[in-house]
Structure 1
């Protein structure tokens, strides 16, 4: 098991809202400097446009830095997932996170099972695991039904219990439902805060250990250390007053969360 960062850990620092956004090589370099062991390129704009040579350079950089690479995309369409398998082959990736939904289509349960049955032999042949993320647009029970109907060790869950709160699924219920099938963890803490005038709430991220995620419970149920499941840090950091303060806080949260997870790991 390794602790890593995602492109979502650099969400603002890599965005067009800053003067000099970080690119993938810069994010890999910072990930290694912070002592993380994994970098997940997740929903990253422009990845599919990279040339084979650029992908190889990225792989060589990761190798030199001692980083494991993972990939993340959206959707179950066969051609799309096979495209990502091609990228995974070049980058020597062994885990791809995806979601039921693409930007244009949400399949029914039967459609999802058919799509997965079509593509899973390619994942098995290439020895790449496919982890479907829990999130509010699709009930966790439906994702689990599809996974259980396929019943393959190469297909499982990317667990992010915070995503499901917006669908009124309790994080512990999501953890309990998926724990036996988890292949990847997205780790972020979250909390509700009253809006100005006490009119409604904001549901947003916060540093690990300061919010509503019962990390000890999730870790105990999933057992990432024993099952060799990588834990990938993400953030839900709202934009602050300006780019400088937002980027500084994002960096602060990343360092805090890495220290938090490393401390938890050392408790065993």
Structure 2
């Protein structure tokens, strides 16, 4: 399984809503980061929406990635028919074989039947262009609902982008989602995390950790995915706990990325 970085490796550097840096990382900066790590895979998520870039920047991204030997994967949020089709064409343009989608968007939460229909309507296009659609497990839907969607679609060109933490928002833990979704997983988001009881004892706090420093058991996770042979790529994602100043947060994010990639090299191809 090949290891790469993501725009969510550098969430603070790319920019989060309400906290945009004065000098955010752009698409070419992410390619440079990958090369610094000796990695050859970059996944662009919805926090750096590629469809908003002008044509000359998209062409420059594809050309530089090809010149540097870097594989691109792209992603978006909001699985509307129009947005899915837009990103299939964008994946083709950027020669990205994996298209990761978060189904929901602000004000948009399609039901299961609608999700299935939207994907089925684009299946022939996905198959013709040899693009794999990875649905990311996110906060609203349960693992069994994702499994139902994939069983109904029933295509090798559609699977799960398995995030190691997101489903906590749906009340499901890692073991539960892996047992259900491992057979469908086509891409992995390696995101380590910590869970600690708050000092007043009235609840827990869940936040990020550098890879290898939290509760994510990477060898166990890979052993669960390996028998199915569908997951070929993994990207580092980070929930970096912010500092008071954004400059300090970004420095911390970089230090976490360095430590995380160093730890993960023992388990993945680079």
TM range (shorter): over 0.9
- What is the rounded CA distance, in whole Å, between the counterparts of 1:228 and 1:63 in structure 2? 23
State whether structure 2 residue 103 is matched by structure 1 residue 100: yes
Q: Is the 8 A contact 1:38 1:68 kept in 2?
A: yes
Q: Is the 8 A contact 2:138 2:166 kept in 1?
A: yes
Alignment of 1:209-224 (within 5 A): 209-223=212-226
What's the C-alpha RMSD, in Å, of the aligned pairs? Answer: 1.8
Equivalent residue, structure 1, for 2:67: 64
Name which of 41, 54, 58 aligns with 1:55: 58
| Pair 145,134 (structure 1): closer, same or farther in 2 beyond 3 Å | same
Equivalent residue, structure 1, for 2:236: 233
State whether structure 2 residue 165 is matched by structure 1 residue 156: no
SS in 1 for 2:267: helix
TM-score after normalising by structure 1? 0.93
SS in 2 for 1:13: helix
| Pair 222,152 (structure 1): closer, same or farther in 2 beyond 3 Å | same
- What is the rounded CA distance, in whole Å, between the counterparts of 2:187 and 2:75 in structure 1? 11
SS in 1 for 2:193: strand
- Compare the two structures and name the one with the higher helix fraction: 1
- What is the rounded CA distance, in whole Å, between the counterparts of 2:41 and 2:28 in structure 1? 14
- What is the rounded CA distance, in whole Å, between the counterparts of 2:208 and 2:192 in structure 1? 6
| Pair 52,224 (structure 1): closer, same or farther in 2 beyond 3 Å | farther
- What is the rounded CA distance, in whole Å, between the counterparts of 2:166 and 2:57 in structure 1? 33
Deviation at 1:241, TM superposition (A): 2.2
Q: How many residues align?
A: 266
Q: 87-96 or 217-226, which moves further after superposition? A: 217-226
| Pair 175,197 (structure 1): closer, same or farther in 2 beyond 3 Å | same
Equivalent residue, structure 2, for 1:143: 146
- What is the rounded CA distance, in whole Å, between the counterparts of 2:56 and 2:94 in structure 1? 11
Equivalent residue, structure 1, for 2:8: 8
SS in 2 for 1:223: helix
Equivalent residue, structure 1, for 2:194: 191
Alignment of 1:7-86 (within 5 A): 7-15=7-15, 17-86=20-89
For structure 2, the 5+ residue unaligned runs are none
- What is the rounded CA distance, in whole Å, between the counterparts of 1:48 and 1:219 in structure 2? 32
Name which of 106, 112, 115 aligns with 1:112: 115
Deviation at 1:264, TM superposition (A): 2.2
Deviation at 1:226, TM superposition (A): 5.4
Equivalent residue, structure 1, for 2:261: 258
TM-score after normalising by structure 2? 0.92
Deviation at 1:224, TM superposition (A): 8.8
Deviation at 1:225, TM superposition (A): 11
- What is the rounded CA distance, in whole Å, between the counterparts of 2:58 and 2:22 in structure 1? 25
Q: Could you report, residue by residue, the CA deviation over 1:55-80 in whole angstroms, capped at 9, with x for unpaired residues? A: 11100111122110001112321111
Q: Is the 8 A contact 1:17 1:243 kept in 2?
A: no
- What is the rounded CA distance, in whole Å, between the counterparts of 2:260 and 2:174 in structure 1? 19
